[in-house]
Structure 1
Amino acid sequence: MNKADLTKRPAEVASMFDEVSAHYDRMNTVLSAGNDHLWRIATTRAIDPRPGELVLDVAAGTGTSSAAIATFGAHVVAADFSAGMIEVGKARQAGNPRVEFVQADATDLPFGDDEFDAVTISFGLRNIVQPKKALAEFFRVTKPGGRVVICEFSTPPLAAVRAAYYGYLQFGMPIVARLASSNAEAYEYLMDSIRAWPSQPTLAGWLRDAGYERVAYRNLTAGIVALHRGHKPGRAIDGKTS
């Protein structure tokens, strides 16, 4: 069994996700008590995909989020570092012409400048060894006037909620992972990475440093998860200024 650690060496992270790819979506639903569906709906609404748009979904995994975005008529490039995730995703989305899978490193994206109307990543930014470099790449490939949407585990602002949540991460999640997962050690990394991840204002600052404007965030599920949004300065494709 492979377990990455907080050094987040890319090969180890990719190998870990390769091993859990077949049951990844089911485990997300189990561990989040079904909230992953609600978070996906909120993220898709924040992206606001439109017919004919080109959307980059980074760390797309098996393409569950990509398929949700594509239902609104956008073409979605589902990029992931894990070959195993892409293999499962291609099989599941084989009949979906609006979802295209590409193996890619988030810190060195194989796309041109100003290519995408929107760039999004859900629960993947904290797994990248150089998240600020990834945000710079997101900015590079976003069209002027385009937008970025990040859904990520975060820091609950209320002390009582934070204590209960961290208690679940430390004691509850390992039990559930041992019962339901073929690689429980991978979910130990999940717990470690969540607790080490910076707060909402810090990530908002990183987005501004990358060049995005109109940066804002809102908490979901009492701040267990946060949605961050930003816009690339310039003129949007429809002629409206951003």
Structure 2
Amino acid sequence: MMRCEAEMSAVMSLGNYALKDEIREYWTKRAETFDQSPGQFIKPGAEHDAWAAMLRRHMGDDARQVLELAFGTGEVTAILLGLGCEVTGLDLTEAMLSRARAKHAGKPGLRLFLGDAEDTREANNRYDAVVSRHLVWTLVDPAAAFRDWFRVLKPGGRVVIMDGDYVRLSRIGRLRLALSDWLSARQGATGPAVDRAAHEAIQQQVYFRDGLRPARLRGMLEEAGFTDFRQEKPSGPHAAQRKGAPLRQKLRVGVWNSFVLSCAKPG
């Protein structure tokens, strides 16, 4: 029995590595045009300020040492630096790392590295906050990730997750996306190229393949030892994204069940 369990574990580990290679390849291809994707680039002004206020609410006023996971091109990184945080960032892809480093070249209080969000290899009890945006839905082994985030946080430190359910869509949501696509085609407004087949193939293999739901996420975080949960919708950033945007873009804002969920390591 023990041998069978060990063999099963080895097979699962190999599968995880293969899936992470797929994820790395997908985001490498997306890196060049990622800031053109809806909801990725954070506009200066009202949207930036709304995200900053939300992050401060969830991290707390005293958060200084922050671990940012899957920083992408460094949009949230800029907000964290603006809040006076010292940021260590990990991302799985060299292409994203290069773009983020170029975007933030010469800025103090920032270290960006290649790394795995499920196995950060950072020191115990080091950070005041662990922050991620659009990461958790892609995790292969979220339980391992949450245990690791708990480990690297100082007692009293907080995890802040900005994410959503990008699988399940309401009937109204489907209609909004269809109308947005129709308007885009009619107006000749094409967005950045996305390999939808690769995206769907990854989505069908990750842990949250049936959708990232806040209640389920909270349960897993509680199992990892977290307490003091706070949750809200990103209403402020969404309102700022809609302001002045063409109808085809307004229709896409908030179409998925997006949320911000944070919790604390007791201490």
Q: 1:30 to 1:111 in 2, by over 3 A?
A: closer
Aligned partner of 1:162 among 145, 170, 174: 170
Partner-residue secondary structure (3-state), 2:87: strand
> Structure 2-normalised TM-score?
0.71
Alignment map for 1:1-242 (pairs within 5 Å): 9-29=19-39, 40-41=51-52, 43-48=54-59, 53-154=64-165, 162-168=170-176, 179-185=190-196, 188=200, 196-221=210-235, 224-234=257-267
Is this contact kept in 1: 2:19–2:202, CA < 8 A?
no
**What is the number of equivalent residue pairs in this alignment?**
226
Name the CA distance, whole Å, in 1 between partners of 2:52 and 2:112: 21
**Superposed CA offset, 1:46-80 (max 9, x none):** 34465781101111111110110111111011111
Partner-residue secondary structure (3-state), 1:94: coil
Is this contact kept in 2: 1:116–1:141, CA < 8 A?
yes
> Structure 1-normalised TM-score?
0.77
Q: Identity of counterpart residues, as a percentage?
A: 23
**Superposed CA offset, 1:187-218 (max 9, x none):** 55688788732321111111111111112322
Partner-residue secondary structure (3-state), 2:230: strand
Instruction: Give the aligned partner of residue 3 of structure 1.
Output: none
Unaligned runs of 5+ residues in structure 1 are 1-5, 235-242
Larger Rg: 2
Name the CA distance, whole Å, in 2 between partners of 1:18 and 1:78: 17
Q: 1:113 to 1:19 in 2, by over 3 A?
A: same
